[in-house]
Amino acid sequence: MSDLRPRPRPLAYSIPDAAAACGYSEASIQRAIAKGDLAPRYANSKGVILADELDEWLHSLPTEPPEKGRPR
């Protein structure tokens, strides 16, 4: 018999899982960390991104793509 209860939302994601959860590459997540837009938390040597922080970062992204030919 299968369990039909919904899975609880993770509290935090590893960097690869954060990338998969939002559809971005690990390199994009690493760049956001390097820029200070995301801050991993450490309980050991492996950093995690809090789910709420990942949500906030996604909501802070522009709603329009950058103009072509314009330097970033």
Domain ranges for the chain, please list them: 12-60
N residues, the chain: 72
Which residue type, as a one-letter code, is found at position 39? A
Q: What per-residue confidence (pLDDT) applies to 4?
A: 85
Single-letter residue type at 52: D
Q: At 4, is the secondary structure helix, strand, or coil?
A: coil
Radius of gyration of the chain (CA): 15
User: pLDDT digit string (tens) for 20-70?
Assistant: 999 999 999 999 999 999 999 998 889 999 999 999 999 999 999 888 865
pTM of full prediction above 0.95? no
